[in-house]
Each structure stands twice: as structure tokens, then as C-alpha cells.
Amino acid sequence: MFFTYLRRELRRRRRAALVVASGLGLGIALVIVVSSVTAGMGRAQDRVLESLYGLGTDMTVTKAASPPGEGETVRRPRFEFDAKGDGGGQSQDVVMVQGFETLPASTVAKVGAQDGVADAVGGLSARVMKVDGRFGPGEARPGKPVQGGGADFGVDSYSVYGTDVAHQELGPLTTSRITSGRTFRAAETSAAVAVVDSAYAKEQGLAVGGKLTVSGTAYTVVGVATAESGDAAADVYLPLARAQALADAKDEVTTVYVRVTDSQRIAGVEAAIARNVPGTTVTTSADLADTVSGSLSTASGLAAGVGTWLSVVVLGAAFVVSGLLTSSAVGRRVREFGTLKALGWRSGRVTRQVVGESLVHGLIGGVLGIGVGLAGAWAVTAFGPTLTAELGGAPGGGARQVVGGPGGGGGPVRDAASRAVDVALTAPVSLMTIALAVGLAVAGGLVAGGFGGWRASRLRPADALRRVA
């Protein structure tokens, strides 16, 4: 009897049911779109952070460079050439650690031993300054240096990152995908091999099997890597031992990349490292997130703030309107419900009938809302804008130095203070979001049914008899 009456009432009042369901559907669709866009913002921000420190990295341990003390001088690249006779071809590389002061390699083991740390990997960031060219012929006099002539030299600069080839699951190399050749093998801890970034390989005409000479040693290019988003972490990746030897930093690292056992323990692990490994600076993914600015940060703030509140307001309004419409519909059915009570229906049965109808309205609204919400999320993914994230300068980052001055003079300019990463906006819809939509649909139906059921339970058979008269 319940379902028969329910089916007849829904068929008779199709228009009223569609209005109530549409209101609920609109609110549910907005919740789905906002939730999906917010999830997409979070995913985009994760990609941005991964472009800085690599996939799976929860925090990094470094040692900030201290300002030079009184009387100390800053080490700068120095090139020395012996211009005898016509000078001939001259070439020299200077490899220097960049970004931070170095830490003892033993720091990696200390960090890895802390409670809550799943893995810790060290890396060394360096920069190669390469000067090559030739002196022009000058006047040679017995017992005196060559005078006159001239010089024609070019200056090149590129970043090098020393990778622990036995533990490649952490670190900046994980931000890139091998598109040609292969990555390092675990046995190549001291091999003269290199993986180069695709942009740098194109610029220098390098390919798999080619040779890259650094400080007189020829390194075989075994792979070409392409950054998944933004700039690559380095132009050239070398085995850690090789990079340490080139930079005169044996058994030293600039950064320790840390993965924790549980994301809920990040704060505790950070405190433990700061306490037990003195002289270091710990930077978590949350700290990095605070440095992200640009359109991604702005859009993320709007989605999390304005979007969330807007969806809550619209959904709340939809619940209230559907409740009022249901209550109003019950008011127009006084004669019907009064007659049913006169025929023996109890108040509880009338109330259940009204709640059942409202629950079906809510489920219909849920179906409509899920459909519209999925369409909206698809539209955002298909036609959404590309957002830009401005990142603070990152240790080990590969922002290239620029050589100023005509003819390569003027020396290197410091690394750019920030990096811009472009990320396409997506709106992924999770099963949790769908479950939330279904829950809201049921809740909306119950709210509307509560309004109408309360009013229906107050009706008396005498009311129906007066309407008939």
C-alpha cells in the first residue's frame, strides 16, 4: 500500500516533485564541483611541491649558508690560464657547491635513524662554470711574458646534482621522467655516467651515448630526463660520489630528503630531527606550501574559502526551500490526509508517507545533482585554465645562471630567487565526493520530510470534513 500510494502521488505531483528535486540537485551539484576543484587545487599544489623536492619527499634537512664573518671572503670562481706563445685553445671548469652549506654525509644516517622516518637520502647540488676559448697571438720577447694580442673566451654555466644511485626513489630526479635511455644503475656509484635534462640536452646537442666533459673527465650520457612540470631540478645528474669529487666535497651533501612513515607524524619527526641533529634546518611540505604564490594560490584560496561557503549557503537554502515547499504541499492536501485519518490511518503512517515522498524527491535531486556535478567537473578539467605557481628559490634547484655583459663578460648572476611552474587545473571526482552527494540527497529528503511530516501529523479528520462541506 505504501509504495502504491507513493507511486501515484509522485505521478500526480510531477511538477512539484521536479521543483523540489531540482533545488536539491543544484545545491548538491555545486558541492560536487567545489569539492572536485578544491581536490584539483590540492593535487596541483602537490605537483608543484614535487617539482621542488621530488616525489614522496615529506621534508628536507639542510644547513643554511651563514654570512661571512669579519675578515672572511666569499669564495668566487677563479680561472687561471698560462698564455705562452700564441696561447692556443684554453678550457677550464670550476665546480662549486651551490645553495647551502654542506653537511657531513653521516647526517643522512642520523636523520634516517629518527623515529618515524621511513627513508632518508642525501644529495649534492653544484654548479659548473666552464670557460673556454683562446688567446690571440702576441709579441714574444726572450725572458719576458707575452704582450699584446687579445682573447676570445666563452662562459657557460649549468647545474649539476649528485644523486645517490642506490636510492633513487627520493630526490629531485624523481620529478623527471626518463624519455630516452635509462636511469642510473645501483652499481654505478662511481661510474662516469650522466643523466641530462631534455632541455639542456637539446641546447648542447647531447643524446644517449654521447659524451659530456666536466673538468677533463668524459661522462657517458645514459639517459635523457624530461621534467614532469616546471623546470628540471638540474641540468645534469651525476652519481653522488662523482659530484662530490668534482665539487671538492668528499663525504658531504647539501640536502637530505626525508620520507616519513605516516603523514600524521610529520610535525613530530620535524621536532625530533631539529632536536637530535643540531645545526640543521628542517623544511616540511607544509612550509613549502606557504611559499607558493601566484594564480594557483589565489584560486586555491577562493575554492577553499569562497567556494566552500557558497556551496554551504546554497545547499542550506535548498534544504530550507525544499522543506517549505513540502510543508506547503501538505497544507494543500489537508482534505486528503484528513480523509485518510478518518479511514483509519494513524498520524505516524501519514507522517511516514510524507517522509517517504520527500526522501524520493531527495534521491531524484541527488541523481540530478551528481549528473550536473560530474558534467561541471568534466568541463573544468577539459576547459579549465592553466594556473601559475610562483615558488621561492629551492635548494638544489636548477634555475640556470645567466652570464651578463657583451661577449660573456661580467660574471655569473645569482640564481633566480623564484621559479614559475605552470599547472593545468583539473577537477577529479572521488568516490568519497559521490558518497557525500548521496548523503546530502538523503539528508535533504529527510529535512523536507521532517517539515511536511510534522505538519501532516497535526491534521485532524474534522479538518477534512469541513473542507468537504
Within-domain flag for 246: yes
The predicted structure's pLDDT at residue 343: 72
235 with 341, same domain? no
State which residues form the domain around 379: 2-47+297-385+425-468
224 with 83, same domain? yes
Bigger pLDDT: 106 vs 457: 106
Within-domain flag for 53: no
Within-domain flag for 353: yes
Name, of 105-109, 404-408, 419-423, the range with top average pLDDT: 105-109
Within-domain flag for 373: yes
238 with 372, same domain? no
191 with 254, same domain? yes
143 with 16, same domain? no
- In this predicted structure, the answer to whether residue 355 has a pLDDT above a threshold of 90 is no
**Sequence-ordered strand ranges (E) for 198-289:** 211-214, 217-227, 236-239, 252-253, 255-260, 281-284
pLDDT band at 224 (very low <50, low <70, confident <90, very high): very high
- In this predicted structure, the answer to whether residue 334 has a pLDDT above a threshold of 60 is yes
101 with 179, same domain? yes
Q: How far is CA 98 from CA 125, 127, 223, 232, 372, in A?
A: 6, 6, 24, 16, 52
- In this predicted structure, the answer to whether residue 325 has a pLDDT above a threshold of 60 is yes
pLDDT band at 276 (very low <50, low <70, confident <90, very high): very high
Q: Is 199 exposed, middle or buried (0-12, 13-18, 19+ CB in 10 A)?
A: middle
Q: Are 132 and 90 in contact (CB under 8 A)?
A: yes
452 with 314, same domain? yes
Q: Which run of H or E residues covers position 4?
A: helix 2-12
Average pLDDT, the chain: 74
68 with 183, same domain? yes
Q: How far is CA 68 from CA 65, 132, 262, 368, in A?
A: 9, 31, 39, 66
211 with 156, same domain? yes
Within-domain flag for 401: no
pLDDT band at 397 (very low <50, low <70, confident <90, very high): very low
pLDDT band at 59 (very low <50, low <70, confident <90, very high): confident
Within-domain flag for 392: no
93 with 18, same domain? no
Rounded Cα–Cα distance for residues 44 and 425 (Å):
7
Rounded Cα–Cα distance for residues 62 and 240 (Å):
16
pLDDT digits (tens, 9 = 90+) for 368-382: 889 998 998 899 888
Please compute the mean of the pLDDT values over residues 293-314 and round it to a whole number: 60
440 with 343, same domain? yes
Last-in-domain residue among 214, 245, 279: 279
The predicted structure's pLDDT at residue 405: 31
Q: Which run of H or E residues covers position 288?
A: helix 285-290
Q: Are 402 and 5 in contact (CB under 8 A)?
A: no
Q: Which run of H or E residues covers position 125?
A: strand 117-135
- In this predicted structure, the answer to whether residue 392 has a pLDDT above a threshold of 90 is no
Rounded Cα–Cα distance for residues 173 and 350 (Å):
67
Residue with C-alpha cell 692556443? 88
Within-domain flag for 228: yes
The predicted structure's pLDDT at residue 117: 92
Structurally, how many domains does the chain consist of? 2
Last-in-domain residue among 248, 279, 310: 279
* Prediction pTM value: 0.57
Number of Cα atoms under 13 Å in the Cβ half of residue 271: 3
Residue with C-alpha cell 511530516? 453
Within-domain flag for 286: no
117 with 231, same domain? yes
